[in-house]
A and B are shown apart, each in its own frame.
Chain A
Amino acid sequence: MKARILLVEDTPTQAEIAMAMLRADGHEIRHAETAGAALALAMEWKPDAILVDLMLPDFSGIELMRRLKAAQVAAAMIMLTAHGSVKTAVEAMQEGASDFVLKPYSAARLRVTLDNALEKRELRQQLDVAQSQLGRGRFHGFVGASPLMQAIYRTIESVAASRATVFVTGESGTGKELAAEALHRVSPRAEKPFVALNCGAIPRDLLESELFGHVKGAFTGATDNRLGAARAADGGTLFLDEIGEMPAEMQVKLLRFVQTGEVTPLGGTRSEKVDVRLVCATHRDILSEVQAGRFREDLYYRIYVVPIELPPLRLRGEDVVLVSRHLLGLYASEEGKAFSDFDAQAEAAIRAYPWPGNVRQLQNVLRNAVVLHDGALVTREMLPVPLLHEAAPATARAAPQRPGTEAPASRIEPLAVAEKRLILQALEHTGQDVPRAAALLEINPSTIYRKLTAWKQAG
C-alpha cells in the first residue's frame, strides 16, 4: 500500500534509516525534526500515517499525538520508541496511536506495522463513509433517510463529476429541481452558475429567447440584448424542467444545441460555444411521449443518458414524518409560531395519507396548518378534511355517503367555471404570482399559463 508518510524524528541517523526503508516501499515521505514542525506539516500536507519518535526536542511524541488528535488529523499514528515499557505503549495507544515499533527495527517490522495501521485506517474510513451514507437524513436540500432516498443520494454523487446529461423523472412535487440543484452542488461545476428554466411555464413564443437569448431588435419588444439561460449557465449546469412540454419546433433547436454545444441567439448571426451540463426533468412518462410522437426520439436518446427516478412520498416510508417535522420547524420559525411537533393522531393521519401531490402538497398542508392555528403541537383537527378521511379506518372510509350530506344543488356549478374561479382566486391571493398560485392549487404553473391563454382566446 503506497501512502503519504510523515516521519517525526530528530536524530539524523535514525531519520535516514527510516526514510530509506519507507522509500524502498514506494511511499511518499516528509520529515520533521521537531513536534512543532510536524504539527504544522500534518495539517497542511494531510499524511496517511505519521511515525512519531517518543523523545523530541520541543515536546514529547505523546504530547504531539494528543495535539494531532485534538486538531482532528485523520492519519494513522505509530509511535517509534526505544523505551519498550508497557506504560509507554498504553499511553501512546490512549493518545490515538495505532501501534508502536521498538527501536531498532528491521524494514520488515516497519512495513508490517505500517501496512496494518494503514489498512485499519482505510477500513475505518470506509466504515465512516458507509455509516454516514446509511444514516443520511439530509442531502443538499433533500430531507429523507429511506433506502430509496439513500439510493438517490448515491446516484447523484456517482454521476456528479461526469458531464453526462441527467434525466430526472418523478411525480409532481417529488423534488426534481432539488435533485438538479444537488447534482450541481456536488459536481465540480458547483462554483459556476446553476440556471433553471421551466419549459412548461414559459409561453412558446418566448421559450427560444429565454433559452438561447436574443439580440436587440430581434422582435418587437426586444429592446436590449438578452443572454438566455444556456449562455448564463456557461461553465455550470442548465436545468430544463418540464421538458415534455417543449414545443416541437423548440425540440429541434434544443437537439442542435445538445449536438454542437453552440448557441445562436434569436436574431443573431453568429453562434457561440457554451459549456453546460444539461439536466432535464419531466413529470410525464417521456417514453410514452416519444411513442405518441409528441417528443422527438433523437432528442430523447440525446438527453436520456443517466436517468434518476425520484420516488413518490408514499413509497418513502418514515420519510413523510421526517419531512413533516422539518417543514413544521421551518414554517413555525418563518411565521413566528410555537409549533414544535405533531400529536400522535396528526402524525398517524400524515403517515396514512398517500400524498398524491408529494412534498409540495405536504408543504401546502403544513403551511396552512401553521398559518391558521396556534399551539405547541399540530393536532388532527388542524389538518384538512381529505387527509383525515384517508387516515380514518377503512370501514369508515368505505361507508356510502348518505344523501343528506351532499352539497345543495344550488351550489353546484360547471367544473370549468369552478376551475376558472379557483385559479383567478389564487392569482388574486398571490398578487398574480403564477408559481405561488400554482403551488397553492397543487398544479403545475404551465397549467395556469395554458388556461389563461385559452380564456384569452375565448374572449
Chain B
Amino acid sequence: MSALDPTVAGQLAEDLPPDVFRTIIATFEEDLTRLVQELRAAYDSGDQDGYERAAHSLAGAAAAVGAVGLEREARLAMDHRQPEAAITVLPRLVAEAEGALEALHALIH
C-alpha cells in the first residue's frame, strides 16, 4: 500500500509551484522530526496529554500532505481507548513517517 494518497499529494504538487512544494516538504520533515521526538519524550515520561497532543499534530501534518498511513497510525496513537500499546504503535508510526517522506521526495523529482 502506498504511503501517500495520490489525490492529495498529487493535487498539492499540481496546485503549488515546485519551489513552494519543496519548502512544504521541508517544513513537513521538520514537523515530523520534532513531533516524533515530542511523542517519544511524552511516552518516556508517562505524559498522556502531551503524547496525544503530539499525535494529533502529527495526524494533522500527515493529512495535509496526504500521508495516509502516517495519519492512520497517528490517529491510533492519539486515541487512548484503542487497545494497542504505544510501544507497538510508535515504531510503526516512525516507519510510516520515513515512508511518507521518501514518497514525497520522489514526487519532487
* Residue ranges of A at the interface with B (Cβ–Cβ < 8 Å): 10-14, 16-17, 20-21, 24, 55, 57, 82, 103-104, 106-108
Q: Which of B7-24 contact A (CB under 8 A)?
A: 8, 11-12, 15-17, 20, 23-24
Task: Out of A13, A21, A55, A103, name the residue touching B28 (CB < 8 Å).
Answer: A13
Contact of B16 among A24, A55, A104, A108 (CB under 8 A): A24
A-binding segment of B37-45, B58-66, B87-95:
B58-66
Residues of B within 8 A of A (CB): 8, 11-12, 15-17, 20, 23-24, 27-28, 30-31, 53, 56-57, 59-61, 63-66
> A13's closest neighbor in chain B, by CB?
B61
When C-beta atoms are compared, the residue in chain A nearest to B29 turns out to be A13
Residues of the A chain whose Cβ atoms lie less than 8 Å from the Cβ of B59: 82
Closest to A82 in B: B63
B61 contacts A14, C-beta separation under 8 Å: yes
Other-chain contact of A14, B11, B30, B64 (Cβ < 8 Å): B64
Q: Report Cα–Cα, A293/B52, bound state, in Å.
A: 90
B20, B27, B57, B65: the one within 8 Å of A10 (CB): B57
**A-B CB contact pairs (8 Å), 15 listed:** A10-B57, A11-B64, A12-B27, A13-B28, A13-B61, A16-B27, A17-B24, A17-B64, A20-B16, A20-B23, A24-B17, A103-B60, A103-B63, A104-B65, A107-B11
Contacts of B56 in A (CB 8 A): 55
B15: nearest chain-A partner, CB-CB: A107
Q: Are A16 and B15 in contact (CB under 8 A)?
A: no
Kindly provide the distance from the CB of B50 to the nearest chain A CB, expressed in whole angstroms. 11
Establish whether residues B15 and A14, one from each chain, have CB atoms under 8 Å apart when the complex forms: no
Chain A residues lying within 8 Å of B61, measured Cβ to Cβ, are 11-14
Which one of A14, A57, A82 has the greatest number of beta carbons of chain B within 10 Å?
A: A14
Taking A13-B24, A16-B24, A107-B16 as known contacts, 8 extra A-B pairs with beta carbons closer than 8 A to each other, sorted by chain A number, are A11-B57, A13-B27, A13-B64, A14-B60, A16-B23, A24-B15, A104-B8, A106-B11
> Residue of B at shortest CB range from A108?
B15
**B64: nearest chain-A partner, CB-CB:** A14
Check B20 against A104 for contact (C-beta < 8 Å). no
- Nearest chain B residue, comparing its CB with the CB of A10: B57
The distance from the CB of B67 to the nearest CB of chain A, in whole angstroms, is 10
Of B59, B60, B65, which is in contact with the most chain A CB atoms at under 10 Å from its CB? B60
User: A12 and B63: CB pair below 8 A?
Assistant: no
